[in-house]
Chains A and B, each alone.
Chain A
Amino acid sequence: MLRVAFLIPLLPLAGFVILLLSGRKLGNPLAGWLATIMVAASFVVTVVVFAGLFRLPAGGRSYTQNWFTWISAGHLHVNMGLLVDPLSMTMAAFVTGVSALIHLYSIGYMEHDEDFPKFFLYLNLFVAAMLLLVLANNFLLLFLGWEGVGVCSYFLIGFWFERDTASSAAKKAMIFNRIGDAAFLVALFLIYERTGSLDYHTVFSHLGSVGEPSLVAMGVLLFAGAVGKSAQIPLYPWLADAMEGPTPVSALIHAATMVTAGVYLMCRINPILYRAPDAAHVIAIIGAVTALLGATIACAQNDIKKILAYSTISQLGYMFLAAGIGAYDAAIFLMLTHAFYKALLFLGAGSVIHAMNDDQDVKTMGALARLMPITAVTFFIGWLSIGGLPVFSGFWSKGDVLLNGYGFSPALWVVGALTAVLTAYYLGRAYLLVFRGQQRWVEARKPGDRAGLKPHDPSWVMSVPLIVLGALSAVGGLINLPIHPDLDFLDRWLSPVFASRLFQHHWGLGGVWTFALIDAALALLGVALAVALWGHASERPAFEPVVLQRAWYIDWAYDRFIARPSTEVAIETSSVVEAKGIDGAVNGFAWLVRSTARHLRKVQTGYVRNYALGLAGGLVLVLAYVLTRAS
């Protein structure tokens, strides 16, 4: 059953190829259905392979499928191959599953778009690249997928490229990611240089002979790559701007899957981090700070998608916090549940935006609960999940992270706890402003804009994913319950991959319950704050300080201190250094070459005897040289 693993990335890729060749002919909605079916089929195959892997004994759950030697140059041999192990299959399962749902949703969401087939073409390519990233058996192939998802992200953020904001957001994402990717590449060189391979198994088995400074460098450089892709400090600002893309894209790429690739990478390289604790600490600290920062910014945003974007940054920080302290299973657990509820929230936001005629300002919404019951209920579930209310999935996964965080250092726990309160609060604010209170959209601020607006729940293709994701968000915690050792399925399933854990703290059942109670209290505090402050009001300037609205002025600082000066330097360089110095040198060299050529070609006279003379001259030179060597 494991042999069919190659189909997992190949099916979406086939979808991409088909759409590339005949997407226009298939048209709307056939192209969307084809893409959805391809991803769904991939999900089915994943489940089959998953089951096959599950039947193996726990120690032997690793299967490498080599396709062919991709590159063979000198000592560098890179095989094109897949690694099927619990970690990669968990990732593949949730990637294909969530992707299939979001594809389905997109059929409805993109219904009226002219470039309907192109959207699904990119989406399928994205899924193929993401699966390659997840299933790769070596760093280079992972990097290929890594770049593939980056490119798709770029295309999809700029999908509505006729909007200036969209195309500049795409550029911004590209540039921030490039910075991280550069570090990633250096890390690859370093790994190859130190271990002589890029294959996971070989690399990890050679780590013993690598010095700690190199290991720390590898860890930090790979983390720098992850920081770019997963929007952590300092490379996070692109994610907020990436919301210019269609909402399903935000849900799929910029919440559920691509941005979690960095976390996946950290989990994958756990043997490196195990030997480089300093690197791991950097990861944990950056993760914690990002979590808090993202949460604070989210408190003051008015754009519903921006709220969710900063929330995503914050949640990703949480995951890095977990990965940094060695709680990889907690990180993956949070990643899974986050994928469910954040995709749910984004899709819910999408329905709301659809209903509000593409307006995203929460301040102009309100009282939609009765008009859009399905959306409201599912969004509500999403709020409770991310807020960490007991029983909902977020409660278990966030609790897992906080538990491990406390065991590592109480300081981390404090930051995490504060973030947890804020998380419950800002999403409560969003929920209350959108679905409760007054129908502020009736008194249209922009006349004519809202005339005859009748918000309603979307069609079934968009509702079904909401309901499914809502259900998963509610009960997703079941896959890893810490309350009894027999119920933490995910931990045990993943344990062969995370054999080398930096830190492990075992709490008794009593400890677990204590922490659960505290978590619940924190979540309730956040919910209570939200209800108290935003239950009946829509404007509270004291709680939306400008500094948070402007996201701590960090974007402004980037623009002021990096973007503008470097633009100045670039303009200066192009007008002075490039035009006069480099261009001059290049043109001068070209002139030199051409005038040399003009003289040299005269030697080629066309007379046979001249050619023979050249030959004989060469002969004489050769013999003259030979005579100097003769003894």
Chain B
Amino acid sequence: MGSLDSYLPIFFMVVLGIAFASLSFGASKLLAPQRPTSAKEAPYECGIVPTHEPARRFPVRFYLVAMIFVVVDIEVIFLFPWAVDSQSLGRFGLVEILVFAASVFVPFIYLVANGALDWGPIKRVRPVESQPDRTSSSTVRHVGPPNDQAA
């Protein structure tokens, strides 16, 4: 158990924190008057009645960029070990890391070309081809099956 000695301060901190929080909650429960109204029960108890729900959905583009960021960010993990010992790894290490960088870069080209990183108004990279068989009803199907509206 001696090995846990170093954790003693942290342990005390945790105990203190929990004690303080429960103490405050308990005190307010005991001391404050309990007269709930519907206005008080609503969130944002600042007096202003909420008019609409907050936007739950971010634009898809937001997720997209976040995802791309995660990938590129994580690939950097492999750069660190190389950077630490790049001298002793020599030319072999350099070549390997360049190959690695290139293979990360190629999908990047794909992303850029597909407009994944374009903010603002959509600029079409490819010209829209005329599709004679495409009607308004088929376009609706592209967006989602008709029974989706019910869900």
Direct contact of A and B (CB under 8 A): no
Q: Which B residues have a C-beta under 8 Å from some C-beta of A? A: none
Q: Which A residues have a C-beta under 8 Å from some C-beta of B? A: none
